[in-house]
């Protein structure tokens, strides 16, 4: 079972409320088992990256994605994180190739239930 607070964070992300999603994921990160803290930190950084893209700040968004992706990679065997990682890598390639922040923002991924079910016990 996934904690309601994680669902709230996912739902905020999927509504493009990235700053709110960041705050909610951070709340869960603070309570997380130490083994899962890097995963939550990756989700926090993804939310922050899309927040920056919404402000037209490509450089900071790229830096956040570069930091987030390795944190999420340890869980790429799970369906949700694997799908999210494919999307994030493609976004990063586009941005580093001169892609537009607005386009990347508008094509943001949706977080699935699977992204939140990585940690057993939810």
| pLDDT bucket at 78, cuts 50 / 70 / 90 | low
Note the Cα 95 to chain centre separation in Å. Answer: 16
Q: What are phi and psi of 78, to 5 degrees?
A: -80, 145
Going by pLDDT thresholds of 50, 70 and 90, the confidence category of residue 121 is: very low
pTM for the structure as a whole: 0.90
Between 58-73 and 79-96, two packed helices, what is the crossing angle to 10 degrees? 150
Q: Using CA atoms, how far apart are residues 87 and 53, in angstroms rounded to an integer?
A: 15
**Superfamily covering domain 4-116:** TTHA0068-like (1.10.3450.10)
Helix (H, G, I), strand (E, B) or coil at 109: coil
pLDDT digits (tens, 9 = 90+) for 20-75: 999 999 998 998 889 889 999 999 999 999 999 999 999 999 999 999 999 998 87
Instruction: List the domain boundaries for the chain.
Output: 4-116
């Amino acid at each position: 079972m996934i904690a309601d607070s994680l669902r709230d964070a996912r739902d905020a992300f999927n509504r493009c409320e990235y700053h709110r999603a960041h705050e909610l994921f951070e709340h869960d990160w603070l309570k997380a088992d130490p083994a899962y803290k890097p995963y939550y930190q990756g989700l926090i950084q993804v939310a922050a990256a899309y927040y920056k893209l919404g402000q037209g700040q490509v450089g900071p968004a790229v830096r956040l994605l570069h930091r987030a992706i390795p944190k999420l990679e340890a869980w790429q065997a799970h369906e949700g994180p694997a799908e999210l990682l494919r999307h994030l890598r493609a976004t990063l390639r586009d941005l580093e190739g001169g892609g537009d922040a607005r386009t990347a923002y508008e094509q943001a991924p949706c977080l699935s239930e699977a992204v939140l079910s990585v940690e057993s016990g939810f």
